[in-house]
Amino acid sequence: MNAAVRGVVRTADALGVHTLGVEFGYRGLIKDRMRELDARAVSGIIQLGGTILGTARSEEFRTPEGRARAAANLKGRGVDGLVVIGGDGSFHGAQALSDEHGIACVGIPGTIDNDLGGSDFTLGFDTAVNVALEAIDRIRDTASSHERLFFVEVMGRRAGWLALYAGLAGGASAVLVPERPTDIEAVRERVRGSFEMGKTFCIVVVAEGDDAGGAYGIANGVVEGTSLDSRVTVLGHVQRGGPPTMRDRVLGARLGHAAVKALLEGQDQIMVGERSGQIIRTSLETAWTDNDHDAGPLLELIDLLAR
């Protein structure tokens, strides 16, 4: 997110546009927590994880009264347009603010789940995948040394993209995601077959939103009635931190620049994203209604290669 903040601020500064940073998201809008940002204020942040502005949920912003206060604060400071970095919840809020109070809003897709339409990848996804992949690589050393079965749980309540990419890149024996019902017996047979073929370890990557109940429950079901020696590792919020990858830094810069250009061209209720290497614009609503990412091909490839 810091790369995107930097991209927004420096693009605006170069074009003579005054920029304010809102602290802690919509909660900050309601509490009028804004500060001036110029090119020097965002110096040295591109390599930092998280966001220098902070982020927080706001139940008050879900109400018409909360949005009215937020809009009054923006208008009181002479703000003409708002760049919102976030996921579908943030974009729902941006659309409501625009509809009710005429604040022009442009969204930048920022979520490690990669579960939004209108962009091949969302900001933060590549970094989170690489954090998970590094953990899987380290676990493989222990798994192979002790001839063990490891279950690694990654984030993803409604979408399994983190698990899919980390599992494919990490050579997992199986990847379990919300997009496909989990067959415990099939997982057991695949793992057992792998060991019988001479593998010295197996790694199963599980998205936290898998329908079988998470890594611990799945591990118990898979090893039941077998002599398999298993361990479970839950990565949790470690995936949300750390220095962003090159891919996320470049994507943040490009999307921040594109968001400012869109606002200056009079755009409203749109999201800037990346498709096939090109920056595109789609409606904010597309983000939560038209997620055309298809997990099927990756699942088929993982099944084929997991031998």
Block residue for tokens 């579908």 = 88
State the pLDDT confidence band at 25, using cuts at 50, 70 and 90: very high
DSSP letter string, 244-284: PPHHHHHHHHHHHHHHHHHHHTT--SEEEEEETTEEEEEEH
SS3 (DSSP) at 177: coil
CA–CA separation, 71 and 81 (whole Å)? 11
Quote the pLDDT of residue 225.
83
> pLDDT-derived band of residue 168, with 50, 70 and 90 as boundaries?
very high
Residue among 120, 117, 90 nearest 105 (CA): 90
Q: How confident is the model at residue 144 (pLDDT cuts 50, 70, 90)?
A: confident
Confidence of residue 306 (pLDDT cuts 50, 70, 90): confident
Name the catalytic one among 13, 88, 113, 210. Answer: 113
Mean pLDDT of 194-208: 88
Predicted pLDDT of residue 145: 78
Cα 122-137-277 angle, rounded to 5 deg: 25
Q: Mean pLDDT in the chain?
A: 93
Q: How confident is the model at residue 233 (pLDDT cuts 50, 70, 90)?
A: very high
Give the domain 127-238+296-305 fold: Rossmann fold (3.40.50)
Residues 6+ apart with CB under 8 A from 264: 15, 17
**Which CATH number does the domain 2-124+245-289 belong to among 3.30.1490.20, 3.30.230.70, 3.40.50.450, 3.40.50.720?**
3.40.50.450
Q: Residue 162: is its pLDDT beyond 80?
A: yes
Percent of the chain with pLDDT over 70: 100
Q: Residue 259 corresponds to which tokens in the numbers above?
A: 């968001």
Residue 194 — pLDDT band, cuts 50, 70, 90?
confident
Task: Check residue 290 and give its pLDDT.
Answer: 81
Instruction: Kindly state the DSSP code that residue 149 receives in the 8-state scheme.
Output: E
Average pLDDT estimate for 133-149: 86
**134-157 burial code (b ≥16 CB/10 A, e <16):** ebbeebbeebeeeebbbbbbbbbe
Residue 11 Ramachandran class (φ > 0 left, ψ -120 to 50 alpha, else beta): alpha
The whole-angstrom separation of Cα 30 and Cα 20 is 15
Residue 185: C-alpha distances to residues 61, 117, 204, 218, 226 (Å): 46, 34, 14, 10, 12
**pLDDT value at position 203?**
92
Residue 124: pLDDT over 90: yes
Phi, psi dihedral angles at 57 (to 5 degrees): -80, 155
Tokens of 45: 């942040």
Active-site residue 268, yes or no? no
Residue 34: the pLDDT is: 96
Nearest Cα to Cα of residue 219 among 200, 238, 206: 206
- For the stretch 37-54, pLDDT in tens is 999 999 999 999 889 999
Q: Where are the alpha helices (DSSP H) in the chain?
A: 2-14, 25-30, 64-76, 88-101, 125-146, 161-169, 184-196, 214-223, 246-264, 284-289, 296-305
User: In angstroms, rounded to a whole number, what is the distance separating the alpha carbons of residues 46 and 220?
Assistant: 42
Question: Which tens digit of pLDDT belongs to each residue from 235-282?
Answer: 988 888 889 999 999 999 999 999 999 999 999 999 999 999 999 999
Measure CA of the first residue to CA of the last residue in the chain; give whole Å: 38
On the question of a common fold for 2-124+245-289 and 127-238+296-305, the answer reads yes
Amino acid at 95: Q
Q: What is the pLDDT of residue 242?
A: 87
Domain ranges of the chain: 2-124+245-289, 127-238+296-305
Cα–Cα nearest to 222, from 63, 251, 213: 213
Question: pTM above the 0.85 mark?
Answer: yes
Residue 38 is predicted with a pLDDT of 95
Cα–Cα distance measured from residue 273 to residue 9, given in angstroms and rounded to the nearest whole number: 18
- pLDDT of 7 strictly over 90: yes
